[in-house]
Amino acid sequence: MRTSALLVALAALILTPLHAHAHATLDRASPRVGSTVAAAPRELSLWFTENIEPALSSVEVRNAAGVRVDQGRARRGAAPNLLQVGLKPLPPGTYQVRWRVLSVDTHRTEGSFSFQVGQ
């Protein structure tokens, strides 16, 4: 009886996936989503809930007039779930961030948020 219960439990562990694959969603950002910062940041950092493929991911930062203020191609940061992009000098105002990422499990996600400088 004890052996059959152990076999059933072992079979359940083997046949059950260890974790479900989910899409990479934004976990946190610096500057923070919806925040107001006193000083203009030099860089935008985005952390995701899964590791991402930076070569197939992008970040755009635009000012209120719709002009891009990021410095181009985003790059992977120190962690495999971190995407960073440099920023041009930002005067006070509201900035819109739009991101698109491909997670290493091949799911694509996107989103947007804003932050303000000096207001």
CB-CB contact of 65 with 76 (8 Å): no
> Closest by alpha carbon to 46, among 107, 99, 109?
99
Tell me the C-alpha to C-alpha distance, in Å, between residue 62 and each of 24, 57, 76, 101. Answer: 23, 17, 20, 18
Report, in angstroms and rounded to the nearest whole number, the Rg of the chain calculated over CA atoms. 20
Please state the length of the chain. Answer: 119
Say whether pTM exceeds 0.85: no
| Amino acid identity at 68 | R
- Domain residues for 51? 22-117
Q: In this predicted model, what pLDDT tens digit does every residue of 52-78 receive, in sequence order?
A: 999 999 999 999 999 999 999 999 999
Instruction: Determine, yes or no, domain membership for 2.
Output: no
In a domain, 70, yes or no: yes
Domain containing residue 33: CATH number: 2.60.40.1220
Question: How many C-beta neighbours within 10 Å does residue 41 have?
Answer: 16
Region 104-111 average pLDDT: 92
Q: Could you give the number of structural domains in the chain?
A: 1
